[in-house]
Amino acid sequence: MAEQARLRVDGSQLRLSSSRSSGKPRFVEGSIVRIYMENFLTYDVCELRPGPNLNMIIGANGTGKSSIVCAICLGLAGKPSFLGRAEKVSLFVKQGCLKGLVEIELFKVPENIIITREIQVVTNTSTWHINKKLATLKTVEEQVAALNIQVDNLCQFLPQDKVGEFAKMSKIELLEATEKSIGPPEMYQFHCKLKNLKEKERELEIVCKGKVNSLEKMKQRAERYKQDVDRYHECKRHLDLIDMLERKRPWVEYETVRQQHESVKQRRDQAKEELKNLKEKQSPLAKKNQEYEEFSNSLNIKIRNTADEIKDVSQKCKTKQDALEVKDKQISDINQALRMKKDEEMDRKKKIQSAYKMIDEWNYELNTVTECENLQPQIDAVNNELKHVQEERANIDSDIGDVTTEKRNQERENERINDRIGQLNNIIKIKEEALQGRFQDTHSALLWLRKNKHKFKKEVCEPMMLTLRDRQKLRVNAVCAPDKSCAETLPSRPIEELHRYGFFSYLRELFDAPVPVMSYLCFQYHVHEVPVGTEKTRNMIERVIKETKLKQIYTAEEKYAIRISMYTKLTISVNTSLRPAQFLNYSVDTDERRQLEKQQQNIKQVLQSLDKQLITLCERQKHLECRDNELRQQKKELLERGSRRKQLESKIAVKYDSIRQLEQNPINLEKESQQAKIKIRAINIQKAKLVTELKCHIKNYISLNIRKADLILQSTAVDAERNRLEAEYKAASIELRASEQRFLELDERKRILTENCKDLMKKARQMCNLSLDQPLPKEFQTAFQTLPNTLEEIDAFLNEERSRVSCFTGLSASVVEECSKQMEEIQKLTEDIEENKKELDNYKQSILKIKEKWLNPLKKMIESINEKFSAFFSSMESVGEVDLHVENEEEYDKYGIRIRVKFHNFTDLHELTPFHQSGGEKSVSTVLYLMALQELNRCPFRVVDEINQVRINSAENNYILYRHL
């Protein structure tokens, strides 16, 4: 390839620079021969053919250098995340196009490999081809890996947006990336194998340690098992004694119940004899009592018959009395009908008199009523005034509607303002909830303050500015505002003087607070003297500190505190990263809230004015309504005055007709009176006959009652004697029943004891495993003789032995078997431990062999990298070192490459970290490390992007590094 070539793409210029070569350029397997892009990022169509010695592409910003890097990554099966620019591959297609294409040709013997990737924007998918044949992503990845191309390794492929991540790589990550990039293939494999073996060794050591601990615990457990076996045998002896006591107890219980049975049988026979004697004494009393009962029944029958006759006579008397009352009622009805005729005649006469009187009054009024005059002018005047009143009412109704509509609009606006103020209050509530979650005591003090503000002489600002600790016992920080307000204190210098350093405001101007709070912040923290700067301030912070002499500085991300040492008089600055906001996430626009409250006050005044207008209009409407009613009444009276005479004449005629009807139907009171007397005389004759018959019935009723009283006296005497005999019979019956009950109870008890004896005998034989006819064996008789003979003694002995057995807890017949089984497990575990120790020794031997194969080549490789790296730094009169960092030689997963650099003579070597060095120093260190790898590189190509015109100054030379490919 020519030493320099110029390529024009889309109107931009790129310069391809290559190093001189004395011999014929030669590609290595996997080198990029050709790059073709279509609708990719900044290119419509572009084809690039890099030569074997190409080492740099130079061009202005936006000419498409990073596009070539992205094409290499994505064309070689790289993921968009490797580039750090976008998550979707479709975003790399030129804007406005539906698909893009990247084609990369790689050198390989005997035939080059052409990889083609076609990207679809709509579906965000890719189609792959190898040598123009359709292929899968996995096939492409295998082909790329076979050529030792690693686009995910920052030591081989460093895109524009990943340059910062190289410096963020840990020592361990840098070692692994370097091994993959320039080490022999087996180096990284040995490293991984060492880490795996070491992990297995640790696991095996843990297993061995656990088994040793388990063996020791098993030995201790076996010793306890031996003690448990001895205790088991002792427990067995006590259990045998309990068994014998339980066998004897049913026999003793049977003997006790048998003796009770004999006693109850004897008492039952005595009760049977007593019952027989009582039955013989009771028979004469029952016969005599029967005779008196029959005589009493005959008397009761006579009394009932007499009572029936009395009842019949009484009913006849009542019938006669009812007939007399009916006759009295008939006489009363006749007199009442006569009185009604008299009242009706008097009422007819009164109505006639009243009608004549009313006719005289109407005639008088008729004479006083004048002839109908012409009332039409008066009616027209009233109609005109009524029309005027109705028009004015309609106008007032319209005005009321307009005022009501305006009032409703103002109320809706007031509701909108209330909603907005509520939203602002909700933000304050969210802040209060955050305060409660973080500082419970402060929130409690805040609630107390709101209820007790009247107890303070001056204003108290929330959350707290006066102490409340004495009574409330709350852990609350509280401060007092200064007596003299400092809220309006001016800064010592105008902010315009600090604009050239990137400062745009003082801290006080960036927030609002009540006057006492602002006064305290200015007095205590001097917020009116603390400037706030931008990224420009941060970039020139050393100059700012030196020239401005400020004590405290804020930028968007950091806070700087500057002080002068009391001993060395040197300026010391401490920068601290600003933490995310905790209680100021939600801000309230106080100006908006003040404006809303002002609008709310204006609306309140407007509503008051509208209410007054409504009251005035309603009063006027009410007055017009009254006037309307008065005019309507006047009109009605005028209309009625024209028809009054005709009404009176009509009424008089009607009333004369009514009088004529009343005079046509008079009543003859004398005739009615004579007829009533005749009817009453006939009824009195019937009453006299009824009284005679009633007298005869009463005499018969009296004689029957005398006979009934006689019979009742006889019955009473007989009942007294019968009651005496019944009492004697009852007493004898009670005694008989008691005797009979006593006999039944004793008989039942005898039966129960008989059954108990049978059950206890059966139970006793079962306890001793005996048949019904089998006698008690000799061995049981001998054993029973040594044991107690009463239930109380046997139960006491049983309780004592059971208490002793209960002390032997956790023992069973399997304890002996468990003890022997434990000894077998101890033997087996001992053998396992010996096998694990042999296996652990084998692991250690394997680790030593692999470590020697891995560590020695690694050290030589790092020494070579360090030699090149140090030489590059020495050429810039700076110092750089690369070494193998080891904390513990046995922890292979913590091995790493440490890069240390020094760019100034007055500083020491410092490890390359994302935080210590400046951005330019990190970029230079990254490039020089990659250049050091270049001499040892076994990969077909290396890409470094965005080392963007970083100038490195030294005493004699100026180097400019450009964006590299």
Task: Decide which of 192 and 104 is more confident.
Answer: 104
pLDDT digits 0-9 by tens, 429-475: 667 766 766 677 777 777 787 777 777 767 777 663 333 333 445 55
Q: State how far the Cα of 835 lies from the Cα of 832, in Å rounded to an integer.
A: 5
Residue 93, strand partner residues: 40
pLDDT value of residue 951: 31
pTM across the whole model: 0.35
Choose among 749, 784, 786: nearest CA to 768: 784
* Cα 587 from Cα 424, distance rounded (Å): 9
- Whether residue 872 is predicted with pLDDT greater than 80 in this model: the reply is yes
Task: Give the DSSP letter string of 1-65.
Answer: --SEEEEEETTEEEEEEE---SS---PPTT-EEEEEEEEETTEEEEEE---TTEEEEE--TTSSH
Count Cβ atoms below 10 Å from residue 292 Cβ, excluding itself.
18
Can you read off the two tokens belonging to residue 858? 């690694």
From its phi and psi, is residue 96 left (phi > 0), alpha (psi between -120 and 50) or beta? left
Per the CB < 8 A criterion, the answer to whether 1 and 52 are in contact is: yes
Residue 23's pLDDT band (cuts 50, 70, 90): very low
**73-82, 112-121, 239-248, 370-379: range with lowest mean pLDDT:** 370-379
pLDDT in tens, 640-682: 665 666 677 777 788 788 878 777 777 777 887 888 888 888 8
- Using the structure block, give the residue that is written with the tokens 């009501």: 404
Q: What pLDDT shows up at residue 829?
A: 80
**DSSP assignment string, 859-896:** HHHHHHHHHHHHHHHHHTT-EEEEEEE-S-TT-GGG-E
Task: Say if residues 366 and 652 touch (Cβ distance below 8 Å).
Answer: yes
Angstrom distance (rounded) from CA 594 to CA 592: 5
Q: Say which residues have a Cβ less than 8 Å from residue 695's Cβ, sequence separation at least 6.
A: none
d(CA 241, CA 246): 9
Within 13 Å of residue 342, how many CA atoms lie on the same side as its CB?
A: 9
138, 140, 146, 149: CA torsion to nearest 10: -110
pLDDT tens for 340-393 read: 888 887 887 888 888 888 888 878 777 765 554 556 787 778 788 888 888 888
DSSP at 502: T
What's the confidence (pLDDT) of residue 103? 92
3-class DSSP string for 312-324: HHHHHHHHHHHHH
Beta bridge partners of residue 35, listed in sequence order:
48, 104
Strands 125-130 and 896-902: unpaired
**Which pLDDT score is estimated for 900?**
87
The residue type of 541 is I
The number of residues making up the chain comes to 965
**Structure confidence at residue 588 as a pLDDT band (50, 70, 90):** low
Residues 6+ apart with CB under 8 A from 412: none
pLDDT at 407 > cutoff 80:
yes
How many CB atoms are located within 10 Å of the residue 516 CB? Answer: 19
Angle CA 874–876–879, to nearest 5: 45
Residue 104: pLDDT above 70? yes
Tell me the CA distances in angstroms from 343 to 266, 335, 337, 347, 939, one per residue in order.
106, 13, 10, 6, 146
What DSSP letter does each residue of 791-830 carry, written as one string?
Answer: HHHHHHHHHHHHHHHHTSTT--TTHHHHHHHHHHHHHHHH
Q: Quick one: pLDDT at residue 577?
A: 78
Give the mean pLDDT of 615-627. Answer: 85
Q: Is the pLDDT of residue 866 over 80?
A: yes
| Per-residue b or e along 909-947, where b marks 16 or more CB atoms closer than 10 Å to that residue's CB | eeebeeeebeeebbbbbbbbbbbbbeeebebbbbbbbbb
- Please answer whether residues 819 and 218 qualify as being in contact, where contact means their C-beta atoms are separated by less than 8 angstroms: no
**Residue 731: pLDDT over 80:** no
- Which of 256-260, 414-418, 797-801 has maximum average pLDDT? 414-418
pLDDT at 6: 36
* DSSP category for residue 158: E
- The mean pLDDT of 73-101, rounded to a whole number, is 83
Task: Decide: helix, strand or coil at residue 287.
Answer: helix
pLDDT confidence bin for 946, thresholds 50/70/90: low
| Predicted confidence (pLDDT) per residue in 739-779, tens digit | 778 888 888 888 888 888 777 777 777 777 777 677 777 77
Distance (Å, whole) CA 775 – CA 765:
9
**864: phi then psi, degrees, rounded to nearest 5:** -65, -40
pLDDT attached to residue 73: 85
What is the distance between the alpha carbons of residues 888 and 849, in angstroms, rounded to a whole number? 18
Helix 171-182 with 919-934: angle, nearest 10 deg: 30
How confident is the model over 38-46, as a mean pLDDT?
86
> How many Cα atoms occupy the beta-carbon half-sphere of 849 within 13 Å?
7
Cα 479 to chain centroid, rounded: 38
Q: Are 222 and 827 in contact (CB under 8 A)?
A: no
Give the mean pLDDT of the chain. Answer: 76
Task: Kindly report, residue by residue over 230-287, the tens digit of the pLDDT.
Answer: 777 777 777 777 777 777 777 777 778 888 888 888 888 887 777 777 777 777 777 7
Does residue 957 have a pLDDT over 50? no
Alpha-carbon dihedral angle through residues 656, 658, 660, 663, given to the nearest 10 degrees: -130
3-class state of residue 375 by DSSP: coil
Name the band, by pLDDT with cuts 50, 70 and 90, for residue 116: very high
Closest listed residue to residue 929, CA positions, set 877, 860, 883, 885: 883
